[in-house]
Homo-oligomer: A and B are copies of this chain.
Amino acid sequence: MVEIKVGARDAGAYKPSRDDKFSFGLWTVGNSGRDQFGDATRARIDPNDSVKKLAELGAFGISMHDDDLVPYNATPAERDAIVARFARTLADTGMVVSMATTNLFGHPVFKDGAFTSNDRAVRRYAIAKTMRAIDLGAELGAPVYVFWGGREGVEAMASKAPADALERYREAIDFLCGYVIDRGYKMRFAIEPKPNEPRGDTFLPTVGHALAFIGKLEHSGMVGLNPETAHETMSGLSFYHAVAQTLWHDKLFHIDLNGQKIGRYDQDLRFGSEGIKDAFFLVKLLEESGYQGPRHFDAHSYRSEDAQGVWDFAAGCMRTYLILKEKAKRFNVDPEIQAALAEASVSELAEPTVGKYSAAAAAALRGDPGDPDALASRGYRNEHLDQLVMELLMGTR
């Protein structure tokens, strides 16, 4: 029997620092616990207080919707005072605004969509609000600007021709790219896909659909993705594979990390608290990919929590990331794991199969296709490999 030593094995380890580039949305720690069926369970947190507390915990940045900081109907003077105070807090704490975005979903004006509302006046309002919010983001130094089209969808299929919706979406992004270029802002755009909720079906439902969409934009080079764990996972798709394909297209501009069970409402759980294996491969991929952007948590504390629980949540997201990051390093030096990778011929997949087409190459291959029965006889020992991964994750290796 294994002797049981209790308590944390790693006092002092897994402490986040600025270099880890952890960031949180103001709306995440600021979430009041209101949901579809119940009222707020926690008081609103002043954004300045959120910045201070997150800085203490080891984050390097925050992200925000326009309305998270500046109330929707603030006067210009109020707006400027709020922004000035917030900028001071950032300066005092050394925190940065690592991403900004627009709230195009909360106000009832967006109930039929924002960039894809059937009402042209609503679409114009959405673009105008976004320009204003981009200015705010630029003023606060946000290098990435996110577009989550939460209301860009339908319940009644007949209510929108989807090709028209895609055209209007494209038009809006093209226009706003033009605006950013014209203003000289150093800012890139990142589209955040989601399959459904709050709409029955959303346009650009997955990482794939958004990547394809970007290919048709006028300024496609300045537009990438902001994939989110929960959003891909809702559809049962592998988030790890989705981020890998995003990187393959050079389009990982930002990332939203959280936890989610498949086939449920958008849970936005603490990072790593569901799907730990997918989370592990994701962290490993991010850390080894050269991705330089924020490790951004778009999640919120359970509704059962008070203020203490909010900071438990925030600290837990970062800590789990760091634990998995350490496991990723361990993966790379574990001899049994490396042997299992070899047995599964993993690195052989990086070798070209046949190279660029030529008639000669085709003829050679046709002449010597190989013997399928012989090739079928080997095993790949993927069970062994996966078991080693699970044991790495469970800390027994």
Contact = CB atoms under 8 A, between A and B. Distances in A.
B156 A386 contact: yes
14 contacts: A115-B353, A122-B375, A127-B354, A155-B269, A158-B281, A174-B357, A200-B261, A205-B206, A263-B264, A270-B386, A270-B387, A304-B382, A312-B381, A316-B386
A373 to B, nearest CB: 7
Contact of A195 (B237, B353, B378): B237
Nearest to A395: B395
A216 interface: yes
Nearest to A320: B390
A92 to B, nearest CB: 27
Contacts of A278: 157
Contact of A335 (B6, B115, B336, B344): B6
A393 B394 contact: yes
A52 interface: no
A208 interface: yes
A76 interface: no
A125 B9 contact: no
Contacts of A391: 8, 319-320, 323
Contact of A309 (B207, B241, B379, B389): B379
Interface in A5-62: 6-10, 13-14, 33-41
A94 interface: no
B182 A357 contact: yes
Nearest to A267: B200
A349 interface: yes
Interface size class of A (residues with CB under 8 A): 35 or more
B372 A109 contact: yes
Contact of A303 (B111, B120, B175): B111
Contacts of A387: 270, 273, 312, 315-316, 319-320
Contact of A235 (B151, B236, B327): B236
A394 B215 CA distance: 40
A307 interface: yes
A168 interface: yes
Interface string A199-229: 0110111111111110110000000000000
Nearest to A317: B387
A63 interface: no
A350 interface: yes
Interface stretch (A83-91, A139-147, A358-366): A358-366
A82 interface: no
A185 to B, nearest CB: 13
A116 B201 CA distance: 32
A237 B236 CA distance: 10
A79 interface: no
B330 A4 contact: yes
A324 B361 CA distance: 49
A108 B206 contact: no
Contact of A376 (B41, B150, B315): B41
B397 A203 contact: no
A106 B37 contact: yes
Contacts of A196: 236, 264-265
Interface string A145-165: 000001100111111111111
A112 B251 CA distance: 28
B265 A197 contact: yes
Given A209-B206, A248-B166, A372 B302 contact: no
Given A162-B244, A179-B357, A394-B276, A198 B156 contact: no
A133 B244 CA distance: 31
Interface in A330-345: 330, 333-337, 340-341, 344-345
Contacts of A131: 362, 365-366
